[in-house]
Structure 1
Amino acid sequence: MGAVEALGKLAPVVLAFGCGVLLARRKVVPAESSKVFADYAFLFAVPCYLFGNIYRSDLGALFDWRAITGYAAAAALAVVLIGVLAWACGVREPRGIALRVMAAVQVNTAYFAVPVFIMLFGNAAPIFPVLLFQVCVLSLVIISVMELGRPDRRGSRGRQLAAAVVASLLTPVVIACNAGIVLNLLSVRLPHAVLDSFAFVGDSASPVALFALGLHLGGSGLTVRGTSLEEVSIIVFKCVVFPVLTFAVACYGFGVHGDWLRYLVLIAAMPAPQNLFIFAQRYEVGVDMSAALVVKSSVVALILLPLLLQWAAHRP
């Protein structure tokens, strides 16, 4: 796939995202309403899309364990690198290190990767295993560090940590993925009317999620001049270093080739997760930096995606 063709496939992504920015900047749609659109996408539309597609998928082909293990190994290596770099740069507070790890290693799946993969490949199925790994492993590690490092912690550490873990596992996205897998494995037959209803709602997930992200960007604004060196470093790692690291580990370390190698590189190139800002607010650490990283890495990812797609297409 050439750069021109890739740009053509990404045109709907840019349209939905750009329309949100434009309407927010012109105050046609209040930027504050981005939370409403985002909640609709995250709590309802995206889970509907994930459930229906996982239920219909061939799980044997969907869960390519070599590819997933390669991605997990690359993510683990990236976590160590960011942790060491943060410590070397003077960050000593565990929550601060955890926040930087989340920004540099976790990816924006529901709001960004799902719509981008639908536009590029017509299917977001390759994202599902990475999404489960991210939510059930990476997020739990981040939550554990954040909870145990809270200065206002009350009660036992175990009880607070357990509550945080349960809350993470009970998010609609995780429930939808697990329900789709269980019903698929049990060969439970669902009526076509039910599946069509999930598909109808799920089809709205991509444009609404991108529109919400555009509204947020249009309302918050984007100032390049005030970007700190640390922000630049994290964005470069997230959008350039991590995809290249994923390619090297998956390809040469685990023998992943073909479509799955391209999928993993593109997933790794997705911007910082939108819930980074939510975590920062909840745990009162790096709030301004988190908001800037989500917005700026999203813009950089949109610019680099056609180039990364073309680069990955010519790999073995």
Structure 2
Amino acid sequence: MGAIGALERLVPVVLAFGCGVVLARRKVVPAESSKAFADYAFLFAVPCFLFGNIYRSDLGALFAWRALSGYAAAACAAAALVGTAAWVLGVRDPRAVALRIMAAVQVNTAYFAVPVFIMLFGDAAPVFPVLLFQVCVLSLVVISVMELGRPDRTGGPARRLGSAVGASLMTPVVIACNAGIVLNLLPVTVPRVVLDSFAFVGDSASPVALFALGLHLGGSGLEVRGTTREEVCLIGFKCVALPLIAYAVCRYAFGVEGDWLRYLVLIAAMPAPQNLFVFAQRYDVGVGLSASLVIKSSVVALALLPLWTQLVARPA
């Protein structure tokens, strides 16, 4: 896929995202309504999309364990690098270190990777295993650090941690993924009318999620001049270094080639996760930093996507 072909396939992504930015800037649609659109996408449309697609998928092909192990190893290596760098540079609060690791290593799957993969490949299935790895492994580690380091909570550490982990695992996205996997494995046939209904709602997930992100950006604004050196380093690591680490680890350490290598590099090139800001608000740590990273990494990732798409299209 050449640069022109990549740009053509990304036009719908830019259109939905850009429309949100323009309408919010012109105050045609209130920027505050981005939360309502985002909640619809994350709590309803995306779970519908994930359930139907996972239920219909070939799980053997979907969970390519060598590829996923390579991505997990790359993510762990990247997390160690970011955590060590933050500590060396004077960040001593474990919660602040965890937030920076989340910003640099986790990716925006539901709101960004899913619609991008649909536009580029007509299928977002390769995103699903990485989404589960993020929610069930990476996010749980971050939540554990945040909960154990939170000074304003009552109850013992075990109780607080158990409550946070339970809440994380009971999100609609995780429930939809697990339900799709279980019903795929069991000799159970989901009625066609149910799958068609889920598909109808799920088809709206991509444009609504991107529109919500655009509304958020249009309302918040983008202050390039106020970007700190730390923000530049974290965004550069997220949008450039992490895809390169994923490529090197997956290809040379785990022997991943072909389509899966391309998928994993593109997934790693996605921006910082939108729930980074949610975590920062909930645990009252790095709120301003997280909001800036989510917005600016989304813009940088969108600008670099045609380049990454062209690079990964070349034979490994």
The aligned residue for residue 197 of structure 1 is 197
Residues 251-270 of structure 1 aligned to structure 2 (within 5 Å): 251-270=251-270
Is residue 66 of structure 1 aligned with residue 93 of structure 2?
Answer: no
The aligned residue for residue 239 of structure 1 is 239
The aligned residue for residue 312 of structure 1 is 312
Residues 82-121 of structure 1 aligned to structure 2 (within 5 Å): 82-121=82-121
Q: Distance in 1 between matches of 2:110 and 2:128?
A: 10
Q: Distance in 1 between matches of 2:262 and 2:276?
A: 26
The aligned residue for residue 176 of structure 2 is 176
Residues 161-172 of structure 1 aligned to structure 2 (within 5 Å): 161-172=161-172
Q: Distance in 2 between matches of 1:32 and 1:161?
A: 32
**Structure 1 position 154, deviation (Å):** 1.3
- Deviation track 1:161-214 (CA, whole Å, cap 9, x = no partner) reads 000000000000000000000000003101110000000000000000000000
- Deviation track 1:237-260 (CA, whole Å, cap 9, x = no partner) reads 000000000000000000000000
The aligned residue for residue 17 of structure 1 is 17
- AA paired with 2:216? H
Q: Distance in 1 between matches of 2:64 and 2:306?
A: 25
Q: Distance in 1 between matches of 2:251 and 2:211?
A: 35
Count, aligned residues: 316
- AA paired with 2:177? C
Query: TM-score scaled by structure 1?
Result: 1.00
**Structure 1 position 124, deviation (Å):** 0.2
- AA paired with 1:306? P
- Deviation track 1:68-108 (CA, whole Å, cap 9, x = no partner) reads 00000000000100000000111000000000000000000
Partner-residue secondary structure (3-state), 2:147: helix
Q: Distance in 2 between matches of 1:176 and 1:121?
A: 22
After TM superposition, the runs of 4+ consecutive aligned structure 1 residues lying more than 2 A away are none
Is residue 126 of structure 1 aligned with residue 126 of structure 2?
Answer: yes
| RMSD, aligned α-carbons | 0.5
Calculate percent identity across the aligned residue pairs: 78
Partner-residue secondary structure (3-state), 1:270: coil
Q: Distance in 1 between matches of 2:237 and 2:297?
A: 10
Q: Distance in 1 between matches of 2:257 and 2:193?
A: 38
Q: Distance in 2 between matches of 1:4 and 1:89?
A: 41
Query: TM-score scaled by structure 2?
Result: 1.00
5+ residue gaps, structure 2: none
- AA paired with 1:133? F
- Deviation track 1:15-65 (CA, whole Å, cap 9, x = no partner) reads 000000000000000000000000000000000000000000000000000
The 10-residue stretch of structure 1 (148-157 or 279-288) with the greater mean CA deviation from structure 2 = 148-157
The aligned residue for residue 2 of structure 1 is 2
Residues 20-39 of structure 1 aligned to structure 2 (within 5 Å): 20-39=20-39
5+ residue gaps, structure 1: none
Partner-residue secondary structure (3-state), 2:110: helix
Partner-residue secondary structure (3-state), 1:161: helix
**Structure 1 position 153, deviation (Å):** 2.5
- AA paired with 1:85? A
- AA paired with 2:214? G
Partner-residue secondary structure (3-state), 2:61: helix
**Structure 1 position 151, deviation (Å):** 1.4
Q: Distance in 2 between matches of 1:149 and 1:313?
A: 44
- AA paired with 2:97? I
Q: Distance in 1 between matches of 2:50 and 2:171?
A: 13
